[in-house]
Structure 1
Amino acid sequence: MKFFIILGYLILEILLFARSSAAASCTINAYNEDDIKNAVQSCTDIIINGINVPAGVVLNLNLAEGTKLIFQGTITWEFYEWDGPLVNITGTNIEITGAPNHVLDAKGSLWWDGKGGGGGKIKPIFFVAHGLKNSVISNITIKNTPNHAIWIEDSDGVVAQDVYIDSKDGDTMGGHNTDGFNVWRSNNVRIQRINVYNQDDCIAIKSGTNVIVTDSYCSGGHGLSIGSVGGRDYNIVENVLVSNTDIVESGNGIRIKTVYGATGSVTNVTYENISLKDITNFGIVIEGDYNITNGSPTGVATDGVPIKKFYLRNVTGTVKETGVNIYILVKKASEWQWSNVSVTGGKKTKQCDGIPEGSGISCS
């Protein structure tokens, strides 16, 4: 009798294990809010396969710890004027990846009107990684975002790698403010081996600590940016390394912009082994006069967001004749060291002001 009781328990455990294993993997082949909620609650391997997300809807994925999320096929979003985001992902120890030949097609041309976030149609942010902890985003292909492509916000321990963002259609179809990556209020972020074709910042670190960007390629946008820093609820950028990256045919190469009249800090930032090619406006531009309201410089720097411990090493390349090689307008900056910086080709000049003594910097 005892044998059969034990055997019964074993069979029950096997059945429960089988049911648990079966429930651990889910595939979503069509958008259904209830199906997605059930998958998020019960599965740790989720495939989003070729779905079309309705207008005005967030693909909201608050994933269980340890979930692997795979995007498969072509995922699309319907048009609606709103702020978005179109995708929001949260979780701990999450792996987000794409199957071969997948694409997240945001159909940005439906929103593009040449005005970006400054007017015209209201354009949603595409993909927000919100509150991700110790997670990896890899092998993702994104096409034609209406607005910013990826925000990493309120996150800690995130690696984004082998991400391909292609909004180059916006060059001729009115794309604007199509940032590649934005980092905000996050710690321990590593962005590597990304390719971005767009019409705004390739990467913009607006606030955060311990951020690494490396081995990447930026084309057509506004370059590798810190900022704008100031005027938000968290205004600290600290311990940033940007290295081994090419910036091609972009408006700017390296840029730091802090907000006029605001407070905050930019500390311990290094750019090294950066190659610039055919930059149109500024090869290197460091400004403390950014007007966060209208997105333009004021021409007068303020000192509420000082830039300290700023290092450039092995930054070389070309600016078009109509551009400026180096422009600096800051206040109370300190401990800058530049070495082997050679940016040439621009025939326009702007008078620099606020360069720390002994930094080895020349604007000529």
Structure 2
Amino acid sequence: MHISNLLSVASLAALAAAAPSELERRQQNCVITDFNKIAGLSKYCDVIALRNIHVPAGQSLDLTNLKEGANIIFEGRTTFGYAEWNGPLIKVSGKHITVRQSPGSVLDGEGERWWDYHGGNGGKTKPHFFSAHNLDDSRIEGLKVKNTPVHGFSLDSKNLVVSGVTIDNSDGDNKGAYNTDAFDVAHSYNLTIENAWVHNQDDCLAINQGDNIRFINGYCYGSHGLSIGSVGNGDVVSNVEITDSQIVNSQNGVRIKTKSGQTGEVRNITFRNISLTNITDYGLIVQQDYNNPGHATNGIKIHDITFDNIHGTALQKGYNIALYCGDGSCYNWSWKNVKIHGARDYKCQNYPSVASCSAA
């Protein structure tokens, strides 16, 4: 994208020295090429072009002190120094913010430096990639992300739209990537994720807590599927629509996972128009024993759930459908045009009578 009247590199020092009151009286368009200039300038700029930024090891690209209404544009290749720490590598917050990139740009996590087949369960400490917490009434659009060390986007915001994001961790298939969740959602209200393209090695989507959430027209390859949960610790996930999406060569298709022996609620969830191809483990799974296999409990209610037009193939060694609920905790379901075939039938438990555990 061409940005008119951008500040030259030579003028950045003058901007930093200007009085804040003067800066606030006029629009400022800023090109930043030096990581060390970001903290001092970002709060005064209406448009911030971050050009070929290299983030030093063990530090975040911190965009949490932005001017309301700021427009962030990543240009070129954004890279990060190597350190074993929790991250995040990028964090953004604010109101009425737009985050995007210029054509051909990439946020390159170079995750292979951390990958060791352990993910977040051991080995090297790996930084999470992108934190969008308290990024309210805002948009993230068109970002291309490559090779995150571990989890990708952590979303904890209100009235946020995430549109057209690509997460390409395909290099990790044979290099030890693990726990590379694409979108982890918590404490969010009125969140839309649309037109995402994901190749990763864990959940394409995991909603752990939130209300009024939509995932639309996504493509998920190599993932653990489109998931509600894991839910526990009193958390509530409500009013979710996951629609018009493809899940290909993945471990799971669609799933709801809650924790044994804990409390919470999953309500008013819709999975509609989901295509499955070559699912290895479970085409559709609802499980209430996520943290304690074989011990489903009923402290978390899963109700007012719609499965509509879920169709496709699972591999022979896996299961088409698995429904493993606690006593009386799964109810008020709608089950239409669920047709998954190619794998085995599961011995299901305590599921609503409208559902079926057999291949269709």
Q: TM-score, normalised by structure 1?
A: 0.90
Separation in structure 2 between the aligned mates of residue 124 and residue 299 of structure 1, nearest angstrom:
33
Task: Describe the superposition over 1:10-36 as per-residue Cα deviations: whole angstroms up to 9, x where unpaired.
Answer: xxxxxx99966876111110211xx21
2:88 to 78, 85, 89: 85
Alignment of 1:109-128 (within 5 A): 109-128=112-131
2:346 to 345, 350, 359: 350
Separation in structure 2 between the aligned mates of residue 17 and residue 122 of structure 1, nearest angstrom:
43
Separation in structure 2 between the aligned mates of residue 92 and residue 19 of structure 1, nearest angstrom:
19
Alignment of 1:245-260 (within 5 A): 245-260=245-260
Counterpart residue number, 1:37: 39
Judged with a 3 Å threshold, the aligned counterparts in structure 2 of structure 1 residues 302 and 19 are, in CA distance, closer, same or farther, namely: closer
Q: CA RMSD in A?
A: 1.6
- Unmatched segments (≥5 aa) in structure 1: 1-15, 292-296
Task: Describe the superposition over 1:196-225 as per-residue Cα deviations: whole angstroms up to 9, x where unpaired.
Answer: 000000011111000000111000010100
Counterpart residue number, 1:167: 169
Counterpart residue number, 1:9: none
Shift of 1:276: 0.2
* 1:160 alignment partner AA: V
Mapped pair 1:238 → 2:233: no
Mapped pair 1:106 → 2:144: no
1:341 to 319, 329, 338: 338
Counterpart residue number, 2:227: 225
Separation in structure 2 between the aligned mates of residue 363 and residue 128 of structure 1, nearest angstrom:
41
Task: Describe the superposition over 1:172-197 as per-residue Cα deviations: whole angstroms up to 9, x where unpaired.
Answer: 00000001101111100000000000
In the TM superposition, structure 1's runs of 4+ consecutive aligned residues that sit over 2 Å from their partners are 16-23, 360-364
Shift of 1:363: 3.2
User: Contact between 1:143 and 1:167, CA under 8 Å: does it hold in 2?
Assistant: yes
Shift of 1:286: 0.7
Separation in structure 2 between the aligned mates of residue 121 and residue 105 of structure 1, nearest angstrom:
19
Counterpart residue number, 1:290: 290
Counterpart residue number, 1:315: 310
Which has the larger displacement, 104-113 or 36-45?
A: 36-45
Separation in structure 2 between the aligned mates of residue 290 and residue 198 of structure 1, nearest angstrom:
21
User: Contact between 2:322 and 2:357, CA under 8 Å: does it hold in 1?
Assistant: no
Length, aligned pairs only: 337
Separation in structure 1 between the aligned mates of residue 142 and residue 101 of structure 2, nearest angstrom:
5
* 2:318 alignment partner AA: G
Task: Describe the superposition over 1:37-92 as per-residue Cα deviations: whole angstroms up to 9, x where unpaired.
Answer: 22222111101110110110011112121000001100001111111111110000
User: Contact between 1:352 and 1:363, CA under 8 Å: does it hold in 2?
Assistant: no
Shift of 1:145: 0.2
User: Contact between 1:150 and 1:182, CA under 8 Å: does it hold in 2?
Assistant: yes
User: Contact between 1:327 and 1:363, CA under 8 Å: does it hold in 2?
Assistant: no
Separation in structure 1 between the aligned mates of residue 242 and residue 349 of structure 2, nearest angstrom:
24
Alignment of 1:43-54 (within 5 A): 43-54=45-56
Separation in structure 2 between the aligned mates of residue 81 and residue 179 of structure 1, nearest angstrom:
19
Separation in structure 1 between the aligned mates of residue 75 and residue 263 of structure 2, nearest angstrom:
44
Separation in structure 2 between the aligned mates of residue 192 and residue 61 of structure 1, nearest angstrom:
23
For the pair shown, the structure with the greater C-alpha radius of gyration is 1
Shift of 1:361: 2.5
Shift of 1:360: 3.6
Separation in structure 2 between the aligned mates of residue 223 and residue 360 of structure 1, nearest angstrom:
20
* 1:323 alignment partner AA: G
Separation in structure 2 between the aligned mates of residue 189 and residue 19 of structure 1, nearest angstrom:
33
The alignment-based identity, stated in percent, is: 41
User: Contact between 1:208 and 1:237, CA under 8 Å: does it hold in 2?
Assistant: yes
Residue 169 of structure 1 aligns to a residue whose secondary structure is helix
User: Contact between 2:219 and 2:245, CA under 8 Å: does it hold in 1?
Assistant: yes
Counterpart residue number, 1:8: none
Judged with a 3 Å threshold, the aligned counterparts in structure 2 of structure 1 residues 360 and 19 are, in CA distance, closer, same or farther, namely: closer
Mapped pair 1:196 → 2:191: no
Shift of 1:115: 0.6
Separation in structure 1 between the aligned mates of residue 102 and residue 332 of structure 2, nearest angstrom:
46
User: Contact between 1:238 and 1:269, CA under 8 Å: does it hold in 2?
Assistant: yes
Mapped pair 1:96 → 2:78: no
Judged with a 3 Å threshold, the aligned counterparts in structure 2 of structure 1 residues 241 and 301 are, in CA distance, closer, same or farther, namely: same
Q: TM-score, normalised by structure 2?
A: 0.91
Residue 129 of structure 1 aligns to a residue whose secondary structure is strand
User: Contact between 1:277 and 1:319, CA under 8 Å: does it hold in 2?
Assistant: yes
